[in-house]
Amino acid sequence: MQAHRQIDKQRFLVSIILLSICSLILTLAPVSYGHELNRETAVVKAVRDVSPAVVNISSAYEVRKRTSPFSGFGLNPFFDEFFRDFFDPRFERRQQNTSLGSGVIIDGQKGLILTNAHVIQKAGTINVVLQDEREFEARIVGADPDSDLAVLKIDSKDRLPAINMGSSEELMIGETVIAIGNPFGFSHTVTTGVISAINRSIRAQDRVYHDFIQIDASINPGNSGGPLLNINGDLIGINTAIYAKAQGIGFAIPIGKARKIISDLIQYGEVIQAWIGITVQNMDDSLARYLDVPGNKGVVIKTVEPKSPAKLAGMQESDIILFLGNKKINSLEDYKSVTKSTAAGDTLPAKLWRNGKKKSVVINTKVYPLELAEDLIFRLLGIKVEDLTKKRRKAYRIYAREGVVISKIKKNSYLAHIGAQPGDVIRQIDDYTIQTSEDFKKAVIKSRRKNTIVLLLQRGEQGYYITVTL
C-alpha cells in the first residue's frame, strides 16, 4: 500500500513539472499564433484584401485667366474684372493646379478605375499610383458631372487587383463601414465608422444629389472617389463629400445607384438618360382636393409628349403618380431620383390615381429621339439655333470660332427678356462645349431634367455666362 502511494506521489510531481514546462514555453514564445487570430478582426481582413485595388489619383490642369495690363498696380479688383473683356487675350495669367483624390479598380483585366468626376474635372494629365507604388498615366473613359462619377482606364501588362462589387440595396443603419483613401496625400488611409442614415439628399453648388449614404467614418479632401466597404470588404459606395460645418458627417454614392451609370460610361462614354415623356409637379392641398386624391402625396402630370413612352403607356395629364419603379413617390425629388437611376430601355411599372381610382401602367423607356430636340429647345429656351457658316458669320459679324448661332427667339422668353437676340452665339451649356447644332441638341436633351442651366453666350468679342431657369 505504501509503495502505491509513493508511485502516485511521483506521478503527481511529474505532472506538475510537465505543466510548468508547458506554461513556461507558452509564456516565452515571442508571438502566439492564437494572439494573431484574436487581433485579426473582420476590418483588418477586409482592408488587407481590398487595399491593393485602391489607388491614389493626382490630376494636373492649367487655369487661364484674362487680365488687364493694369493688374498688379493696386487698382480696385472690380475694375480688373471690368476691363478684363476689353483687352487682348494675350494678357493672360496661367496657373498650374493639382487635384488629389482616390479611386478603386473595378476591372483588373481591362484596368478600369471608378472615382468621382470632380477629382478629374478639367484635368490635363491624370496619374494613378497603386499600393505597390506602380505608376500609370490614366485616360478618361467617361465622366458624368450630374452623378459625380467617372471611369478611368490604365494600361498594364499584368492583371490588376480588383474590388468585389457589393450591394447597397439592403444597408442597415448602424452597420460597420470602412473608408480607404488618400486624404491630404496620406496614401491608403483607413477609417471606420457606421452608416448614420440612407437616402440623404445634399446640395453642392448648383446641383442636388439624392440617395446618398451618410456615414460617420472620417473622410477628408483626398478621400473623394475612394471605396466605402462593408465589414466583408465588398464595395457598397464611393466616398464623395463631407459636411464642412461639422465633424463625423460624410456622404457616399451607393453602388446600386452607380452601377447603371458605370455601365453607360464604359459603353457610351456618357450617361444615356431614359426618356419617359412627361413633366410633373408637386402635389399640394388644393390640387389634392380638386383631383380627389387621398392626402397630398404623389406628383401630378402636367404634360405628356406625343408619341412618348408615357403616351404609349396610356398616361394622361392630371394623372397622379403614386408609385414609379416600385418606389413610393411622395414628391418631385422622389420622381427625379427614380428617373435619374433608370437606364434607357428599362421597364418602369407605375401606379396612378385617375378620377378617384387607382390604375397600373407599364412604361417602356427609350432614348430621347434627336429629331425631337428642336421642339424641346424651343419649348425650354424659346430659341432656334443654326450651325455657324461663313454667310452667318458675315451677316451677324460673328467673331466666335465655334458654337451655334441663335436664328430665332421667342417673344416673352427668358432669353428675350434679358436681351439675347438673333446673331448671338452659344458656345457652352454647363460643362458641355458646343461646336455644332447637333452638340447643342444633345446637350439640351441631357440637361432637360435640370432646374437651371448655365449658357456661355457670346456677342461680338465678349462672352457672358447666363443662368436660365427651365
Is residue 188 flagged as an active site residue?
A: no
Is residue 285 flagged as an active site residue?
A: no
Give the other-Cβ count within 10 Å of 72's Cβ: 10
3-state helix, strand, coil in the chain (%, to 5): 25, 35, 35
What does the angle CA 139 – CA 444 – CA 310 come to, to the nearest 5 degrees? 110
Yes or no: say if 299 and 320 are a contact pair by the CB < 8 Å rule: yes
Question: By C-alpha distance, which of 169, 296, 348 is closest to 338?
Answer: 348
Question: By C-alpha distance, which of 113, 117, 116 is closest to 162?
Answer: 113
Pairing of strands 347-354, 432-433: unpaired
Catalytic residue from among 102, 224, 437, 447: 224
Yes or no: say if 329 and 335 are a contact pair by the CB < 8 Å rule: yes
Burial of 313-335, coded b for 16+ CB within 10 Å and e otherwise, reads: bebeeebbbbbbbeeebbeeebb
Q: How far is CA 410 from CA 165, 380, 463, in A?
A: 50, 11, 22
Phi/psi for 315 (5° steps) reads -75, 145
Catalytic residue from among 59, 118, 188, 211: 118
Tell me, rounded to whole angstroms, the distance of Cα 357 from its chain centroid.
38
Is residue 148 flagged as an active site residue?
A: yes
Please list the active-site residues: 118, 148, 224
